[in-house]
Structure 1
Amino acid sequence: MTAFSLEPARLAWCAELRALAAQRLRPLAEKGEPGRVDRALVAELGTLGLLSRLFTSGALDLCLMRESLAHACTEAETALALQGLGAHPVHAHGTPAQRARWLPGVSDGSVVAAFALSEPDAGSDAAALSLTAEPDGRPGPAEPAERGAAADAPAPAPLAAHPDGRSGWRLTGEKCWISNAPDADFYTVFARTTPGAGARGVTAFLVPADRPGLTGSRLDMLSPHPIGALRFDAVPVTADDVLGEADRGFRVAMDTLNLFRPSVGAFAVGMAQAALDATLAHTARRDAFGGKLKDLQSVAHQVAEMALRTESARLMVYAAATAYDEGAADVPRRSAMAKLLATETAQYVVDRAVQLHGARALQRGHLLEHLYREVRAPRVYEGASEVQRGIIAKELYRNQEDR
């Protein structure tokens, strides 16, 4: 059943989240350093119990969290979303040992996660990954000590053996445009274990940031959240680091993206609503041509169009999330539609809001200047708009062939 409206309890929760974002998260975000993980902000998300909800809530509640936080504090929304994106593969596909080792820290905000899929030459075409995982016959090196471990702590156990008797694999290559890199504590990394096999030859690995041979650098991007590049120089991994099954990592990636794509749309809806609210307030009080801006039909019609598109995107996001929660067969199509419509809508709404505010919206520190920088990236990451159109068309024609 599609959720066209929310029950009072969820509406009240959304209002509470918006208040928390404005009162407790926004002040922390303002103290953070652009381009770096704001650990104080992540820790506060953990204290508020929002990070643990990433693993106990359904897709609709994830969307409501992201939309509500984005309305008042995009930095908090993004910090929460990146924790979920990086850790969901561990939650959904990890072993009991992997989950016990990493998820408590993600939930309380003491451990930062990252999702490492994109490469310099493999962004939208995720099946074209070139980071290689080569079989390693050498003895597995000891796992580096955890950060903060006592000097006299017992040495950790050596890396576990590969199922065929070898010690595991060595990862060699690069990842690029990775959110939370290079500051994350662990990465969900997708590497090619079978050459020439396309999507069927990719394996997902859980790689701690302190593995030997793993280095990273920051990228100076338009978006204010941390993004970096990773370099793998024969980084050792073993069967104990595999998420899911060897050569089936693409399924791990798509399962994660199908969940998070509608919530990217929710992030976009939250930004669009913030821009719309600011525009309503501005046009209602701004004097122009002997009256208020809102009295001009051209202005009123633009505001009406902004509201129409925002609500349409919101409903599609909620519908896609509900379909995911109910295990519907058409989740890939609905997820793609929700992300596509909502991110394109947010770009339109924020742009219109800037135009109706005039030059003041272009000043550094203005809400709309901030949103204008934030709103561009979601049309690219987790599958660009063109990729979403391709997914939609593919699913439509697949349904046609099945008839």
Structure 2
Amino acid sequence: MFKQTLKWPFFDEKHRELEALEGFARDGLGDLIRREHAGDDVYALCPQLVSALGAGGWLGYGASLDGRLDSRSLCLARDILARQSGLAEFAFAMQGLGSAAITLFGSGSQRQSWLPGVIAGERIAAFALSEEGAGSNPAEMTTSARRVAGGWVIDGEKTWISNAGLAHQYVVFARTREAAGSQGLSCFVVEADAPGFCVADRIDVIAPHPLGALRFEDCRVPEHALIGQEGEGFKIAMSVLDVFRSSVGASAVGMARRALDHALLRVSARQISGASLASYQMTQDKLADMATAIDAAALLVYRAAWVKDVIGGRSSREAAMAKLFATEEAQRVIDKAVQLFGGLGVVAGNPAERLYREIRALRIYEGTSEIQKLIIAGQLLRTQA
């Protein structure tokens, strides 16, 4: 099914070359993925996955020294990796999300300073936007940064931060002006060894991955840690999310493909009263719905990525539609896979059970489904004004 996707007119030849990532994920990451499925410590596995992806040359699709990101390549990579492993896809995606502000808005010297290690898989990156009281609305952010001689001092807390405790560098958003709402936000890179910075807590979630809370207490960073111009933080954050929201949809598509793969194997092998489960019409009804939902979601995802790459500019509406539809439909596809597995579908470690836990967070992070609906409706209303 994925090979057919690559034939769609959204893609150029360079995108079709990404098919090789499927083999790399299966063979080059195979041992690490088996350890993931066996329940090994994610804090130990993630750095190894990042290192392997960097050594294979794949992290260059999520970060770039030339200041550009190809949204279609990013989405394809996440789609492919999510079909193999939730943790491998996470490791790839967070390298991109955690460095995208530098790629898109950093100066040449900032990109040269902070991106080569990320691309090589030698440095882990993180994106620190969310706060306890400002998860869905960055305009309510309270983390602050004040200018001092030679740099800035940051105070505040962040939470729900992926790669907390593993990252060598964090892209951090803080309020630098007493302007209302989003107008006074700025963007900084904070090194993990910066004085006054610490990981305050680890957060355990149903599909384990490195997640935690950060604390900044008189955290001093140099002048060149500021990305873009002071006051551009909200624009930078929204531009990053424009790219990565579509790719969250791609991750959901990859997980849904994995669910369908396992479901097809299950219903073909399972015998009931001398006939395969696949021969029953109610089974075929579920399989048809699953396949249709996956293709519809993939079309929205790759439409959004194409709009970003080819038409350019902001693509908030298309990205929000892609993330909303793909994540919600992937949840339904995976639920059907659990149902087709029967009792085995809720046994810990079963592929359908693992996917059921993995998919849930995608409807929340980088903007909940409800936030995506507000974005879509807002765009519609603005066009009618």
Farther-moved stretch of structure 1 (6-15 vs 307-316): 6-15
Q: How many residues are aligned here? A: 370
Alignment match of 1:108 (pick from 101, 120, 139)? 120
Give 1:2-401 correspondences, 5 Å limit.
Answer: 4-5=8-9, 9=13, 13-31=17-35, 33-36=40-43, 38-55=46-63, 58-136=70-148, 166-216=149-199, 217-328=201-312, 331-401=315-385
Distance in 1 separating the partners of 2:208 and 2:379: 34
Distance in 1 separating the partners of 2:150 and 2:12: 55
> SS where residue 326 of structure 1 aligns?
helix
Distance in 2 separating the partners of 1:277 and 1:93: 40
Distance in 2 separating the partners of 1:339 and 1:59: 14
The change in CA–CA distance for 1:193 and 1:333 in structure 2 (over 3 A counts) is same
Runs of 4+ with deviation above 6 angstroms: none
Normalising to structure 1: TM-score of the pair? 0.88
Give the deviation of 1:5 after TM superposition: 4.0
From the two aligned structures, give the one with the greater helix fraction. 2
The change in CA–CA distance for 1:275 and 1:5 in structure 2 (over 3 A counts) is farther
Q: Which structure would you say has the larger Rg?
A: 1
Deviation digits for residues 327-353 of structure 1 (CA, Å, limit 9, x no counterpart): 345611000000000000111111110
The change in CA–CA distance for 1:256 and 1:6 in structure 2 (over 3 A counts) is closer
Deviation digits for residues 59-103 of structure 1 (CA, Å, limit 9, x no counterpart): 011111110111112211110100000011111111222211111
The change in CA–CA distance for 1:204 and 1:8 in structure 2 (over 3 A counts) is closer
Give the conservation status (yes or no) of the 8 Å contact 1:286–1:292: yes
Deviation digits for residues 275-329 of structure 1 (CA, Å, limit 9, x no counterpart): 0111112112211244221222111111101111110000110100000001345
The change in CA–CA distance for 1:276 and 1:10 in structure 2 (over 3 A counts) is farther
Distance in 1 separating the partners of 2:10 and 2:304: 14
Give the conservation status (yes or no) of the 8 Å contact 2:126–2:161: yes
Give the conservation status (yes or no) of the 8 Å contact 2:242–2:314: no
Give the deviation of 1:20 after TM superposition: 1.2
Give the conservation status (yes or no) of the 8 Å contact 2:63–2:99: no
Give the deviation of 1:53 after TM superposition: 2.4
Identity, % of aligned positions: 42
Give the conservation status (yes or no) of the 8 Å contact 1:26–1:73: no
Farther-moved stretch of structure 1 (379-388 vs 23-32): 23-32
Distance in 2 separating the partners of 1:238 and 1:199: 23
Give the conservation status (yes or no) of the 8 Å contact 1:34–1:226: no
Distance in 1 separating the partners of 2:273 and 2:56: 48
Distance in 1 separating the partners of 2:340 and 2:207: 23
Deviation digits for residues 129-169 of structure 1 (CA, Å, limit 9, x no counterpart): 11111343xxxxxxxxxxxxxxxxxxxxxxxxxxxxx4433
> SS where residue 32 of structure 2 aligns?
helix
Distance in 2 separating the partners of 1:398 and 1:354: 41
Distance in 1 separating the partners of 2:315 and 2:16: 28
Task: Tell which has more relative contact order, 1 or 2 (C-alpha 8 A, sep 6+).
Answer: 1
Aligned twin of 1:156: none
Farther-moved stretch of structure 1 (252-261 vs 4-13): 4-13
Give the conservation status (yes or no) of the 8 Å contact 1:265–1:317: yes
Give the conservation status (yes or no) of the 8 Å contact 1:285–1:292: yes
5+ residue gaps, structure 2? 1-6
Give the conservation status (yes or no) of the 8 Å contact 2:15–2:72: no
The change in CA–CA distance for 1:101 and 1:14 in structure 2 (over 3 A counts) is closer
Normalising to structure 2: TM-score of the pair? 0.92
Distance in 2 separating the partners of 1:55 and 1:36: 22
Give the deviation of 1:220 after TM superposition: 1.2
> SS where residue 375 of structure 1 aligns?
helix
5+ residue gaps, structure 1? 137-165
Distance in 2 separating the partners of 1:389 and 1:291: 44
